[in-house]
Amino acid sequence: MKNEKLRMKSGFVFEKELGYGNPITSKSLSFAIRIVKMYSILVRRNKEFEPILKQLLRSGTSIGANISESQCAISKKDFVNKLQIALKESRETEYWLKLLNEVEIINEKEYLSLYSDCEELSKLLTSILKTTKNNMKNS
């Protein structure tokens, strides 16, 4: 793995590239890093929103954990199950990001940056799941 610096502005990570061969694994880890960094900053500034921020932390980091776990699946069905959980977590993360933006805990720029990355993960997961399920039906 390449050890590259996080690009930060106002304490938020906007770009991160990791040297993994699997794009969804790299993207989900980069996203989780951003979520952890954002949580640590926001929880200090907005202690009263800690329960909501913890929900975002859980769902945002769970995406990559489930994707990583899917890489060692014992069957195609197990692989699909792990990725479906990751997709559900990405949708939950999108919800928490929308909520934090609407109540002005994060600004529009932060929201759009994180939301677009999360949405990209959701689209990748949806595509992988569709392809895998089609391959399972045809084999």
One digit per residue, the tens of pLDDT, for the chain of length 139 reads 343 444 444 455 444 444 456 899 999 999 999 999 999 999 999 899 999 999 999 999 999 999 999 999 999 999 999 999 999 999 999 999 999 999 999 999 999 999 999 999 999 999 999 999 999 898 7
Of 74, 31, 73, nearest in space to 56 by CA: 31
In-domain check, residue 48: yes
In-domain check, residue 33: yes
pTM of the model: 0.84
Supply the pLDDT for residue 12: 52
Q: How far is C-alpha 26 from the geometric centre of its chain's CA atoms?
A: 10
In-domain check, residue 94: yes
Residues 6+ apart with CB under 8 A from 4: 16, 17, 18, 19
In-domain check, residue 36: yes
Q: What is the CATH number of the domain that holds 78?
A: 1.20.1440.60
Q: How far is C-alpha 89 from the geometric centre of its chain's CA atoms?
A: 8
Supply the pLDDT for residue 3: 39
Residue indicated by tokens 């949405």: 119
Please tell me the distance from the alpha carbon of residue 79 to that of residue 63, in angstroms, as a whole number.
14
Calculate Rg over the CA atoms of the chain. Answer: 16
In-domain check, residue 2: no
In-domain check, residue 110: yes
What is the CA angle 132-134-138, rounded to 5? 115
In-domain check, residue 88: yes
Which range marks the domain in which residue 122 is found?
7-138
In-domain check, residue 1: no
- Dihedral of alpha carbons 5, 111, 54, 25, sign: negative
Count of domains for the chain: 1
